[in-house]
Structure 1
Amino acid sequence: MPVITPGMTKFRKKVQLSQDAERLKEILELKDRLQHDLEYLIAHNKIKDYPDYMSLFGDFGTIDYSKENLIGKGSFTKSYVTNNPATGEKRAIKVINMEKSRKEYAEKFLPRQLNILIFLSEHPHPNIIKVNAIGKVVQHVFIDTEYCSMGTLRNYRSKIKTNKEFNEDQTRNWLRQLISAIEFLHYYCIAHRNITPENVFIMTNESIRLSGFGFSRFCYDIETGTFRNSSSNRDPDPFLAPEIIEGETTDPKMGDIWSWGAIFYYLVTGDPPFNPTQYISKGIKLSSFTFGPYHSQRVSTNLSERVSRLLADCLTSDPTKRATLHHVKAHPWLKEGEPLPVAT
């Protein structure tokens, strides 16, 4: 074992301080950015404001709005696959109709989402969706991203009909990539808050991309140097943590750990860990959910008991007792095997 001298210790501390200073600088930069509205982003050339749709199509390429090219749809959003006019490469275009969206979304959540996407495009991670450009025409915002031809984790899991088709190595690789993306976001004090199978895309080489930043938020208080809690009532999605659905004021980063565990359980069993709608309809608090013998038995069909314990730690209703990101990353199951190549 090498001897660690006082000089080496001092050098390590100096390096750590340097890294922390650089990180703090970037966090402060992100905090300032999140105050910017659409007009500011347009004025500072972060988003291009086009006078008409023909001008936008010159940069984004002509968008074929036919049903065959529609790859995603929300209450006020639609996503299409199209080709880059310069390279012919396929990419995805998300169209947000601000007139149809709620006022709170257009004025609060959309600017926050765009600021975070712009920040992430300048600080790329191999498992976070790559944003090529953002444009605005009248009341429509266009987000140009890389195209993930294999669909989402929802598409993948729906094709698995039997336990025999479950691929442990592939599942482990995707979960490693997903926790890496979450760790990257948390490093910059960003909580995703909407990690669902529909928001995790698969590339042709089967590396994954985390997307869906519509409800992400910055969660660090610069003045106190502490992480900021948040509250936000959400629809009862089974992949969201109970405290997020019920609007409790808690650390939003812990909600991302729940979502990681819920996706893990879903990839193994084909089902989410619980149905929050049933709890709500019966007047039962979501925080009463327990990862019990039924869940462990379903997981153990494909994986060992120690994996069940990891999932139980991630799917703990009390966020203060939930597994931390460090605990998840250190689990032996995630360290088994060799990681598959990750696209850059």
Structure 2
Amino acid sequence: MGEPWERLLKDRGYKIQNTLGEGAYSKVKSAYSNRLGREVAIKCINTKLAPKDFVEKFLPRELQTLPLLRHENIVRVYEILEASDGYVYIVMEAARNGDMLRFVQKRGALPEYDIKRYFWELCQAINYCHEKNICHRDLKCENLLLDKNFKLLLTDFGFSKPMNTDARGRMVLSSTFCGSAAYAAPEIIQGKPYDPRMHDMWSLGVILYIMSCGHMPFDDSNVKKMLKIQLKNHLRFPPRVNDVLSGELKTLIRQLIQPDVTQRATMAKVLEHPFFYGYQELRTRPSTALNATTSVAQQIYHYFTGSRPPTSPAAAAAAGQEDKGGCSHDARRQSRHQESSGARPRHGFCETGHTSCEVTSTCDSTPAVETRHRRSHDATDCCGSSTCDPYQRSPCTHKRVRPSHRK
């Protein structure tokens, strides 16, 4: 607590904890607020090190926009402090589960139900902003946070802009290049005046593609080459997910990543898209993100085998099924164990082979046998001893005590 800005925050009742992120002229610290009685995230911006256009143009815009937004899927700002030493502090809602980019990097392509949930929440946040005549203009996975309950929170309104209309009621087009090239619409890369709302729609399509496929739709290492591919409308889905993703999802992605602005899906069309049909009735279903997420590999496996995906513990409990214990298995440790031992992966089961335990969950039971082994002897042939496992590989060698022999 030696720096002046840290002492200032301490005096206002914030107990500084660890650093969540750090940039060239800003840091994000986790802290506990005695006044609010909860954990918060504090974005500390050093305006003396920040670029002039950021300090004079984009930062004031963000500070003006954030207090106006009140939505369950937009990060909540509790306090904004401007100190005489050149620091600006934005105290906001904490997001314990990081951002969407790291979430997808860790888990890969998401199950379609989770895609539907997160994309619906994102669309609700963007639709709210558009109704408030505000365009985000920097939508990307890094700006989508996940709170302790894995609820999506939109953040970083540094490039946001109020939407204005001319005397004829037409939208005033923007000309400033904003955001990342990987998420930017082709008209922006071409340097053309653009409708900021349709820029947001293109970025939504890129985010939806990333959640569905686990990687970017275009390689932005060569922007000119990327632009040519975008203008040809050559969007491809990787073979590993092409047969898993529903037709409605792929259609929605294509309608959003549409180079022709006049043909690109609007927010009204997205919210009424068949991809979301029935979602309102299913919103009470427990999200697999809160338990164990079924990977794309599992979905492909169940697609070709026709088998039923395993039920997560939460879903089993909701359906009145028996929950066979908690699961705390690490899928990455399991994968490394399988690779080193040469074992064949068992899709949909943990290392103990419990059907109630999914691959990414943990199982605290004793790893006994693989699920592909069935009963080697009938339960009636078992001696009934507590040390005898009816699922063991060899028949029971204990002598069965018949009722007539019992005293």
TM bucket (normalised to shorter chain) is: 0.7 to 0.9
Give how far 1:296 is off: 7.4
Q: 1:336 aligns with which of 278, 290, 313?
A: 278
Query: How far is the alpha carbon of 1:273 from its aligned partner?
Result: 1.1
Range moving further from structure 2, 328-337 or 108-117: 328-337
SS at match of 1:127: coil
Measured after TM superposition, the shift of residue 242 of structure 1 is 2.4
Give the AA of the match of 1:82.
Answer: A
Question: Bigger relative contact order, structure 1 or 2, given CA contacts below 8 A and separation 6+?
Answer: 1
Aligned to 2:264: 322
Q: Which residue of 2 aligns with 1:290?
A: 233
Query: Which residue does the alignment assign to 1:145?
Result: 92
Quote how far apart the aligned CAs of 1:63 are.
2.8
Change (3 A) 1:256 1:154: same
Q: What does residue 339 of structure 2 align with?
A: none
Shift of 1:256: 0.9
Secondary structure of the 1:194 match is coil
Tell me what 2:136 maps to: 192
Matched, 1:160 2:160: no
* Corresponding pairs, count: 280
Counterparts of 1:175 and 1:199 in 2: how far apart (Å)? 13
* 1:254-293 mapped onto 2 (5 Å cutoff): 254-280=198-224, 282=225, 285=228, 288-292=231-235
Which of the residues 113, 119, 127 maps onto 2:73?
127
8 Å contact from structure 1 (residues 149, 203) kept in 2: yes
User: For the structure 1 residues 245 and 99, does the alpha-carbon distance in structure 2 shift closer, same or farther, using more than 3 Å as the test?
Assistant: farther
Whole-angstrom CA distance in 2 between matches of 1:248 and 1:318: 13
Distance 2:247 2:13 in 1: 50
The answer on whether the counterparts of 2:134 and 2:163 sit within 8 Å (CA) in structure 1 is yes
1:96–1:142 contact (8 Å) kept in structure 2 = yes
Which position in structure 2 is the counterpart of 1:40?
A: none
What residue in structure 2 maps to residue 57 of structure 1?
A: 10
Q: State the 1:321 CA deviation.
A: 2.0
Cα 1:283/1:266, change in 2 over 3 Å = closer
d(CA) in 1 for partners of 2:230, 2:213:
22
Contact (CA 8 Å) 2:138, 2:179: kept in 1 or not? no
Q: Is the 8 A contact 2:43 2:90 kept in 1?
A: yes
From 22, 25, 49, the counterpart of 1:76: 25
By how many angstroms is 1:235 displaced?
6.0
1:261 deviation in Å?
1.1
SS in 2 for 1:226: coil
In structure 1, list runs of 5 or more residues that go unmatched.
Answer: 1-50
What's 1:107 paired with? 56
> C-alpha separation between the residues in 1 aligned to 2:223 and 2:97?
34
In the TM superposition, residue 114 of structure 1 has moved relative to its aligned partner by 0.6
What are the ranges of 5 or more consecutive residues in structure 2 without an aligned counterpart?
287-407
Aligned partner of 1:212: which letter?
D
CA contact (8 A) 1:196 1:240 kept: no
User: Which of residues 279, 293, 312 is equivalent to 2:254?
Assistant: 312
**Contact 1:174–1:208 under 8 Å retained in 2:** yes
1:105-138 alpha-carbon deviations (Å, 9 max, x no partner):
1011111111001211xxx111011000000112
Which of 175, 186, 191 matches 2:119? 175
Cα gap change, 1:316 to 1:100, in 2 (>3 Å): same
Distance 1:96 1:234 in 2: 20
Q: Distance in 1 between matches of 2:206 and 2:56?
A: 31
Cα distance, 1:308 vs. partner? 1.4
Residues in 1 aligned to 2:115 and 2:5: alpha-carbon distance in whole angstroms: 45
Return the offset for 1:54.
3.5
**1:318 is aligned with what amino acid?**
D
Q: Which residue of 1 aligns with 2:243?
A: 301
2:196 match: 252
SS in 2 for 1:79: strand
SS in 1 for 2:12: helix
Instruction: Map Cα deviations across residues 266-295 of structure 1 (whole Å, 9 max, x no partner).
Output: 011111111233233x59557525243x33
Look up the equivalent residue of 2:171 and give its one-letter code. F
Counterpart-to-counterpart distance in 1, 2:34 and 2:161: 33
1:94 and 2:37 correspond: no
Closer, same or farther: CA 289–132 of 1 in aligned 2, 3 Å: farther
Which protein has the bigger helix share?
A: 1
| Distance verdict in 2 for CA 1:236–1:286, change over 3 Å | farther
Q: Which has the larger radius of gyration?
A: 2
Give 1:233 deviation, angstroms.
Answer: 2.2
Verify the 8 A CA contact 2:137 2:179 in the aligned structure 1: no
Tell me which residue corresponds to 1:16.
none
Partner AA of 1:130 in structure 2: R
Partner in structure 2 of residue 241 of structure 1: 185
Distance in 1 separating the partners of 2:179 and 2:73: 26
Q: After TM superposition, give the deviation of residue 335 of structure 1 in Å.
A: 2.5
RMSD of equivalent CA atoms: 2.5
Kept after mapping to 2: 8 A contact 1:234/1:245:
no
Query: Would you say the 8 A contact 1:296–1:305 is kept in 2?
Result: no
